[in-house]
């Protein structure tokens, strides 16, 4: 659908841009590094869509009101609004960091352009995103609590959103930036864990040890989304802050390539 020759969708995990174990706290060093690499890519001619996670801004509030269960009755109605507020706060911090690096980034509220049906992404207004991209504006979306046609409201994971945008926009690359730096044979904190440089649907992976609160399916869902995009011919990679640039341009580095 996209007419751009070099389009990348960059999903930045909430555990990367925030201190996930500390409520409402930005990881300034990581955000600065990511913004610098995105600026480099942008000024080298890449078209870019950024999607970030909720980290210590969205997840604790969503968990408090049990929004992962779906529904909007009772206190969940207030929880919907409060979660939306904190995600907007985080989103503006990410946008400001990109602006500081001379990237023309613009917030694009996910819940205004997408909705779920029974906790699964049902619709996203890709045309709006594409019009931003065509004008060399970097839209910055995020995992969010959105309207759900069946349940009233539910959580839309940034991993799902990023994969769907990559597929519908026919992106060159889709990269997932996560705190662990890639996919490992065992939880990264476990002795003997090895970074997997390539994964396929037949690769045996032991996933666990997520730090902090995560109201989405975490790494498991990320891998499923990654495979879905890879099946469409998109170059998909999962890695850390220090490999963002390499993942986008397809340069060899210490990250996980997703193959089908």
Query: Domain containing 89 — which CATH number?
Result: 3.40.1160.10
What is the C-alpha end-to-end distance of the chain, expressed in Å?
Answer: 22
Q: Is residue 155 part of a domain?
A: yes
* Domain-embedded: residue 230: yes
Q: Does 199 reside within a domain?
A: yes
Which residue range forms the structural domain that includes residue 143? 7-258
pLDDT at 137: 98
Of 21-25, 105-109, 110-114, 200-204, the poorest mean pLDDT is in 200-204
Model pTM score: 0.93
Give the chain as a 3 state SS string.
CCCCCCEEEEEECHHHHECCCCCCCECHHHHHHHHHHHHHHHHCCCEEEEEECCHHHHHHHHHHCCHHHCCCCCCHHHHHHHHHHHHHHHHHHHHHHHHHCCCCEEECCHHHHEEEECCEEEEECHHHHHHHHHCCCEEEEECEEEEECCCEEEEECHHHHHHHHHHHCCCCEEEEECCCCCCECCCCCCCCCCECCEECCCCCCCCCCCCCCCCCCHHHHHHHHHHHHHCCCCEEEEECHHHHHHHHHCCCCCCEEECC
> Does residue 211 fall inside a structural domain?
yes
In the chain, % of residues over pLDDT 70: 94
Q: Which of 1-10, 56-65, 213-222 comes out lowest in average pLDDT?
A: 213-222
User: Is residue 225, in this structure, part of any structural domain at all?
Assistant: yes
Asked if residue 134 belongs to a domain, the reply is: yes
Plot region of 66 (φ>0 → left; ψ -120 to 50 → alpha; else → beta): left
Q: Give a yes or no: residue 2 inside a domain.
A: no
Is 1 among the domain residues?
Answer: no
Domain count, the chain: 1
When pLDDT is averaged across residues 108-136 and rounded to a whole number, the result is 98
pLDDT value at position 205? 78
Distance CA 176, CA 239 (A): 6
Residue 215: pLDDT above 60? no
| pLDDT at residue 141 is higher than 90 | yes
């Amino acid at each position: 659908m996209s007419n751009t020759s070099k389009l990348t969708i960059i999903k930045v995990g909430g555990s990367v841009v925030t201190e996930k174990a500390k409520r409402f706290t930005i990881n300034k060093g990581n955000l600065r590094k990511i913004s610098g690499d995105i600026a480099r890519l942008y000024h080298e001619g890449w078209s870019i869509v950024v999607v970030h996670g909720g980290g210590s801004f969205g997840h604790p509030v969503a968990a408090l009101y049990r929004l992962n269960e779906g529904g909007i009755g009772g206190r969940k109605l207030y929880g919907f609004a409060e979660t939306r507020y904190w995600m907007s706060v985080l989103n503006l911090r990410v946008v400001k960091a990109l602006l500081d690096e001379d990237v023309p980034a613009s917030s694009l509220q996910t819940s205004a352009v997408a909705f779920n049906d029974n906790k699964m992404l049902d619709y996203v207004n890709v045309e709006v995103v594409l019009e931003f991209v065509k004008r060399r504006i970097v839209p910055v979306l995020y995992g969010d609590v959105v309207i759900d046609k069946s349940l009233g409201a539910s959580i839309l994971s940034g991993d799902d959103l990023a994969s769907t945008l990559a597929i519908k926009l026919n992106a060159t690359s889709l990269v997932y930036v996560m705190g662990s730096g890639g996919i490992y044979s065992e939880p990264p904190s476990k002795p003997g864990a090895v970074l997997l440089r390539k994964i396929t649907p037949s690769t045996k992976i032991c996933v666990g040890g997520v730090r902090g609160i995560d109201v989405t399916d975490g790494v498991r869902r990320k891998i499923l989304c990654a495979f879905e995009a890879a099946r469409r011919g998109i170059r998909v990679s999962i890695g850390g802050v220090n490999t963002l640039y390499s993942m986008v341009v397809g340069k060899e580095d210490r990250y996980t390539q997703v193959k089908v």
